[in-house]
Structure 1
Amino acid sequence: MQLVILSDTHMPKKAKQLPKRLVKELQEADLIIHAGDWQTLDVYEELKQYGRVEGVYGNVDGEDITKVFPRSQILELNDYRVGLVHGHGDKKTTEKRVIEEFEGEEIDLIIFGHSHLPLLRFVKKTLLFNPGSATDKRRLSHYSFGKISINDGIHAEHIFYDSFD
């Protein structure tokens, strides 16, 4: 199962269209996961053209999005449990908040966003993955999104690029 992971698209404020590098990967995805801060449902409508989309809402998303997507969810993918949450909240670091969100659950992978900072690391036996932002790199040198393969194990990587072309 091939996943494309994105978060913090903030469209149309930060981009008018999805970057070409991302679109290329969306065409091959079995599942698209968005970890919140869509900004508008238009992003969801566009992603749906490429396949099944799962997601959660983020702190900048309005009622139109919170009616469609939950704050967090757990997906069962090829016998792996995948936690999905944006990661916003008060106090603590984003990482600590996302770990606490799934406290008491056996989770193999937690996908989150909010910080716009790409992250790939284990905390005990749980893989934490933040794809960064495909459209709002902030002070980082590159835009990014993620690709995850879930078959006999989980293989995650970031795709980095410099422009939307």
Structure 2
Amino acid sequence: MDLLITADTHVPNRARDLPAPLWAAIDAADVVLHAGDWVDMSLLDAVAARARRLVGVYGNNDGPQLRARLPEVARVELAGLRVAVVHETGPKTRREERCAARFPDCDLLVFGHSHIPWDSVAPTGLRLLNPGSPTDRRAQPYATYLTARVAAGRVDKVELHRLPPR
């Protein structure tokens, strides 16, 4: 099962649309995981129309309409992998410890908010992934998103994709 992982898209505030390579990855993925900060309902509708399966949450920049359609935390099982998606996890200090305590029944936690790519493993085995942002790189050298493969309850082949400058 192929995953596309993104967050902090901020359309239309930071970009008019998602970059073409990200749309192609959305089209190719079995499941799209979006960790919030969509900003506009039209982007949620567009991604939902193109994704085979969408698991998304709202972020701190998402208004009442998005919050009415999306949860703060989403939980799903994908090919035996227990996944949670949330927008914000707090400061990077002790993140693994804090998230492992908050999500003890998960194998993978996808999060956003910081716009900083992150890939780590808590002592409990919880894998934490943040795809960065495809539209607002802030202090990062590149705008980014992630892809990953899930099989038999394991996530592997996690790849950070750099997007060309706009």
Query: Do both share a fold (TM > 0.5)?
Result: yes
**After the TM superposition, which segments of 4 or more aligned residues of structure 1 sit over 6 Å from their partners?**
none
Residue 133 of structure 1: aligned partner: 133
Q: 1:44 to 1:102 in 2, by over 3 A?
A: farther
Equivalent residue letter for 2:117: P
Say which SS state the counterpart of residue 117 (structure 1) adopts.
Answer: coil
**Residue type of the partner of 2:130?**
N
Alpha carbons of structure 1 residues 113 and 148: separation in structure 2 relative to 1, 3 Å: same
1:104–1:55 distance in 2 versus 1, CA, 3 Å: closer
1:12 and 2:36 are equivalent in the alignment:
no
Q: What is the aligned-residue RMSD (CA, Å)?
A: 2.0
- Note if contact 1:83-1:102 (Cα within 8 Å) is conserved in structure 2: no
* Alpha-carbon distance between aligned partners in 2 of 1:55 and 1:98, rounded to the nearest angstrom: 24
Q: For the residues of structure 1 that align with 2:33 and 2:108, how far apart are their CA atoms?
A: 13
Distance 1:121 1:88, change over 3 A: closer
Question: TM-score, normalized by length of structure 2?
Answer: 0.89
Contact 1:37 1:57 in 2 (8 A): yes
What is the CA-CA distance between 1:80 and the residue it aligns to?
0.9
For structure 2, list consecutive stretches of 5 or more residues without a partner in the other structure.
none
Instruction: Please state whether the residue corresponding to 2:69 is helix, strand or coil.
Output: coil
What amino acid does structure 1 have at the position aligned with 2:22?
L
Distance 1:68 1:94, change over 3 A: farther
Equivalent pairs counted in the alignment come to 162
How far the C-alpha of 1:88 sits from its partner, in A, is 5.7
Instruction: Summarize the alignment of residues 13-162 of structure 1 with structure 2, pairs less than 5 Å apart.
Output: 13-51=13-51, 52-87=53-88, 92-93=91-92, 96=95, 99-100=98-99, 103=102, 105-124=104-123, 125-152=125-152, 153-155=154-156, 156-162=158-164
Identity of aligned residues (%): 32
Q: Distance in 1 between matches of 2:93 and 2:71?
A: 18
Q: Against the structure 1 CA distance between its residues 21 and 94, is the aligned structure 2 distance closer, same or farther, given a 3 Å change threshold?
A: farther
TM-score relative to the length of structure 1:
0.89
Structure 2 counterpart of 1:22, one-letter code: L
Q: Is the 8 A contact 2:100 2:122 kept in 1?
A: no
Provide the C-alpha distance between the structure 2 equivalents of 1:65 and 1:38, rounded to a whole number of angstroms: 8
CA distance 1:49–1:98, change in 2 (3 Å): farther
